[in-house]
Amino acid sequence: MKKGQRTVKEVANRLEAFYLRNRRLPSFAELGEILNLRSKNAVSQWVGKLEEAEIVRQDRTGKLSLGENFSTLKLLGSIEAGFPTGAEEEALDTLSLDSYLIKNREATYVLTVKGDSMIDAGIHEGDMVIVERGVEARSGDIVIAEVDGAFTLKYFRKRGREVSLEAANKKYKTIFPKNDLTISAVVRVVIRKYV
């Protein structure tokens, strides 16, 4: 039988193709279609294997979500002088870039950086920032704030009751908002691609 020859890796690849296309994991019925399996039992056996390999997880309602090993990039730790020992490498484990960078997907957005107002924080024009909405900004966070109907990227500072937006560039003055300050989101990740 064809089914017996299939490996978990092959199934995982199909799952990944589905995910790339639909940006979600399949339902049991859809997984049956992907794998050409009619029986529900056979599908759930595969789900069991995928779960064991931590490629997917199942929630209370039986829906699938991404497991730690789904589409993995190997994380080798920070680069230091010397090489990581085997033991260290194991301890760090593998994880997907997505789950490393994004905590709450539904609240996460992307923007492109323009200008040099955050240059001393290492954020350059053309960088992309991944931001999270709906979280409270703490003093020292880099935030997306709304000033005069436009988004601005600045350090959020809070001293007692006074709040301000501070650039990471001497050329720009610190902004002390007159009315309420709207913080749209908090910066979680900065991405720069070297191509």
Partner 1 sequence: MQNLVLHLDGDAFFVGCELTRRPDLRGLPVVTGAERGIASAMSYEAKRLGVTRGYPIFKLRKDFPQVVVLPGDYELYEQYANRMYTIVRRFSNRVEEYSIDECFAQLRQGSAGQASHEIAREVKSTLARELGMTFSVGVAPTKVLAKLASKRDKPNGLVCTNYDNFAHELYGMDLGKVWGIGARSLPLMRALGVVTVGDFANQSESWMRGNWNVNFLDLWHELRGEQVYKVSEGNIAKHLSIQKTRTFSPATNDPSVLMGQLAKNIENAFGYARSLNLSASEAQIFIKTEKFGYQVTEFKFLNPIQTPELLLDQVRKVLPSLIRKNEKYRATGVVLKASPLARGLALGPRDLFGNHLVESSRLAVHQVADRLYDKYGGRVLTLGSALTARNMHHTQSARTHLGLPYLGEVC
Q: Where does this chain bind partner 1 (CB under 8 A)?
A: 14, 17-18, 20-24, 27, 60-61, 104-115, 117, 128-131, 133-134, 144, 146, 149-153, 184
Catalytic site residue from 2, 117, 139, 170: 117
Nearer to partner 1, 92 or 111 (CB): 111
Tokens representing residue 15 in the block: 């799952």
Give the span between the Cα atoms of 129 and 188, in whole angstroms: 7
From the candidates 2, 154, 170, 178, which is the catalytic residue? 154
Within 10 Å of residue 125's Cβ, how many Cβ atoms?
12
- Is 27 an active-site residue? no
Pick between residue 91 and residue 110 the one whose CB is nearest to partner 1. Answer: 110
What minimum distance in Å lies between the beta carbon of 170 and partner 1? 16
Concerning whether 158 is annotated as a catalytic residue, the answer is no
- Closest to partner 1 by CB, 44 vs 108, is 108
Per the CB < 8 A criterion, the answer to whether 195 and 143 are in contact is no
Indicate the residue type of 105: R
Tokens at residue 157, please?
């500072």
Task: Assign 47 to helix, strand or coil.
Answer: helix
Active site residues: 117, 154
